[in-house]
Structure 1
Amino acid sequence: MEFKKYFQNFDWPLLGAVGVLTIFGLVAIASATHVNLGESATFVVKQGAFFVVGIILMLIAANVDYEYFSQFHIPIYCINLLLLMAVLLIGTGAKGAVRWIAIGPLTIQPSEFAKIMMIFCLAKVITTNHHKINRLPFLAFLCIYVMVPIVLIQKQPALSASLVLIAIFCIQLFVAGLSYTFIRNVLIITVPIIAFILWDVARENPLIMDKIFEPHQFNRILSFVDPKRDASLYYQTEKSISAIGSGQLTGQGLFSGTLNQLSYLPEPHNDFIFSVVGEEFGFIGCIFVLGVLLFIVFRCIVIAISSRNLFSQLVVAGIAGMFAFQTFVNAGVALGILPNTGMSLPFVSYGGSSMWANMVAIGLVLNIRKKETKSLFEGGLL
């Protein structure tokens, strides 16, 4: 009876959405890595193994006493920093970036797990000091608290992971009740800074942006604001847009995408997996993927609203924000409406660390849904 009751409390629609999306991702990865052309199915097999391990991690996260572990947020934060520093000291690199740590035959990307650890730690710190949320000294402390791992991540460099941490931080502050006065003041400062960055990058001789950003980061922004300056910088985005456009309504068919199968798409199994979906499954396929991801985010938001305490709300809201932001950026880059930042698409893109971090996040959401949500009679939404 207890066993049956335990599984009745699981959010099966959320679990089903994750499963469907991951299986669809395996099919897209199979096509992106040219399985149909006789090449090795290694990527698909590995991603399937990552998913199986991810299910185990999800079940663990769904059953731990997360409130008990929240009291160890300081050691968790320190472990996060140590892992990020280890990348700089003993990390392995690829394509000009050092983001991975090799453990035998396995490589992990600490910046992916940093997202989950920071969601957890920030939620605890904000909850403990909630009465100070609109006091400048506490907000300054929180900014430093978040900036330390961001600086370490930028040293790798990994701009996409840094942006995700900033998005998580902003969302959790908003949910915690940050005054609109602070939000307004930040926008007043931030919007002109962004405008200046775009203006300076577009200049023939930039004033300072070429000195602040890494060369590859500067070039990615330049390719966005002025694609005609250097056609080679816009190559990835141009091919991605062409692939999505060629798919039209229903797509060219599985394993039939011309640009994908002829290897014109860059990183088709990872950063540009959305382009593969667009070319081979068309507009309908894109809407399906975005719709399932929207449903996952929606379920997280409902669970956050229905949670009994602020800590649970902040954890789930941070996870919802992480999924939403990564989806928006990945699709935006593929469609050419955002600069290329190398963001993975949750549950669809290839990658063990990304899959495991996302599955742990879902496990935490299920845990909170099971333990902390209100019943219908208490005014909850579930």
Structure 2
Amino acid sequence: MLLSRTDRSYFSQWWWTVDRMVLLACIILMVVGLVLSLAASPAVAIRLDMSDEMYFVKKQMQFMPVALLLILAISFITSERLVRYIALALFVGGMVLLISGLLYGVKIKGSYRWVSLGFMTLQPSEFVKPGFVILSAWLFSQGMKYPKIRGNLLSFILFASFISLLVLQPDMGQTMLVTAVWVAMFFLSGASLWILAGFLGITGVGGFYAYNTMSHVAARIDGFLNPADTDNYQVDLSLQSFIQGGWFGKGPGESSIKSQLPDAHTDFIFAVAGEEFGIIGCLLIVAVFSFITFNFLRHAFSVENMFKKLSITGLTILFGMQAFINMGVNLKMLPAKGMTLPFISSGGSSLMSMAITVGLLLALTRRQPHADQLPVGGRYNQPLQA
């Protein structure tokens, strides 16, 4: 073998402690994303009258190696403190950009989700999410260890400040996702069912308020509940893609509905997969996402360190729930949310943020070698030491 278990090198230690199967699964998703981008993006570029019909494909090819390097670099981290510093930088920097977006951002489809940095356009909320999860996990765990710290209250302040900016954009899909992640972490940290019930009640009131005051929220919910009475152009086309694709699909590049889907390369790329690769191809994509999600959850429930347990759980829910919400919308099982499919949808912000998320997960789930695998006369670095 090229890498011996007794090798003391830094790379060898990483190789034998990182979850290589999950890393491979993420690379597979990136490759699938590039294939689907080649299928869907040119039609979108032509419809937008862009001079280069391969524009979105080229952008995706530029971001992919950067995303892979991010995953690998972050997965090498063995310091719990460094993980927290990265999370703090992501949260603070992202929140500043979120506020800048509300004041000076680019309005796209009625929302101020994007910030122009000159050389690229960024969606700050994508980068705040992993930072928010790690910081909340640390506050929850510190609150459990040192009750005087009031970790639950401090985490709630972070949560409230983040979702307030998301609501102001407005971005109700991300608001719901972040809320679900935070509630799950709050529950795992020992919150009473009464507190959770009260919080969920407040969330329900907030949803009712959004439905009655935000026209686009009402339109999406009404369209889902009463499809015959509303215009569900993209969702209807998406469902038609799966019907036309059948079990085995029409073949790579042979789909036709993508030329009519405005977001065929982003939010509805799963529909393109359905038409070109059929139900079988889509089930394989679902299987890869399920493997990654359940594998990380298995790690979460096997660790005793509360910070790691909460961090892994929160980041995994963030990753898995976003994937299954996107696929659910494409299949008309959920109201439209405007969420991308991790590692598959085109878009630099989504790809980079998911690379950071998975990199952190791989760092947090680095295995402790068994005694018989330790180098003779020495030992591996302990993964994620405080």
Q: How many angstroms does 1:167 deviate by?
A: 1.7
1:24 and 2:32 matched: yes
Query: Equivalent residue for 2:282?
Result: 286
| Aligned mate of 2:113, from 82, 94, 99 | 99
Query: Any gaps of 5 or more consecutive residues in structure 2?
Result: 1-6, 47-51, 373-386
Query: Equivalent residue for 2:226?
Result: 226
Percent of paired sites with the same residue: 30
**CA shift in 2, pair 1:376/1:172, >3 Å:** farther
TM-score (norm 2): 0.84
| Aligned mate of 2:233, from 224, 235, 240 | 235
SS state of the match for residue 264, structure 2?
Answer: coil
| Aligned mate of 2:60, from 25, 40, 47 | 47
Greater displacement, 316-325 / 80-89 = 80-89
2:199, 2:84 → 1: CA distance? 31
2:66, 2:324 → 1: CA distance? 26
1:108, 1:192 → 2: CA distance? 30
**CA shift in 2, pair 1:348/1:68, >3 Å:** same
- Contact 1:124–1:311 (Cα < 8 Å) also in 2: yes
Q: How many angstroms does 1:19 deviate by?
A: 0.5
What letter corresponds to residue 108 of structure 2 in structure 1? Answer: A
Q: How many angstroms does 1:67 deviate by?
A: 1.7
Query: Equivalent residue for 1:64?
Result: 77
Q: How many angstroms does 1:44 deviate by?
A: 1.6
1:375, 1:184 → 2: CA distance? 43
SS state of the match for residue 101, structure 1?
Answer: strand
Q: How many angstroms does 1:80 deviate by?
A: 3.6
What letter corresponds to residue 175 of structure 2 in structure 1? Answer: S
SS state of the match for residue 338, structure 1?
Answer: coil
Query: Equivalent residue for 1:203?
Result: none
Once the two structures are superposed, what CA deviation does each residue of 1:216-244 show, in whole Å capped at 9, x if it has no partner? 222111111122223x3x11111111111
Query: Equivalent residue for 1:313?
Result: 309
1:86, 1:37 → 2: CA distance? 29
- Contact 2:84–2:135 (Cα < 8 Å) also in 1: no
Query: Equivalent residue for 1:9?
Result: 17
Q: How many angstroms does 1:294 deviate by?
A: 0.5
Q: How many angstroms does 1:211 deviate by?
A: 4.3
Q: How many angstroms does 1:178 deviate by?
A: 2.9
Greater displacement, 56-65 / 7-16 = 56-65
Query: Equivalent residue for 2:376?
Result: none
Q: How many angstroms does 1:186 deviate by?
A: 5.1
1:302, 1:313 → 2: CA distance? 10
2:198, 2:136 → 1: CA distance? 22
**CA shift in 2, pair 1:65/1:13, >3 Å:** closer
Once the two structures are superposed, what CA deviation does each residue of 1:40-82 show, in whole Å capped at 9, x if it has no partner? 2221221122111112222332233542236657676443422
1:295-374 matched pairs, under 5 angstroms: 295-370=291-366, 373=368
2:371, 2:322 → 1: CA distance? 32
Paired positions, count: 357
- Contact 2:75–2:361 (Cα < 8 Å) also in 1: yes
TM-score (norm 1): 0.84
SS state of the match for residue 33, structure 1?
Answer: helix
- Contact 1:118–1:165 (Cα < 8 Å) also in 2: no
What letter corresponds to residue 31 of structure 1 in structure 2? Answer: A
1:32-43 matched pairs, under 5 angstroms: 32-34=40-42, 40-43=53-56
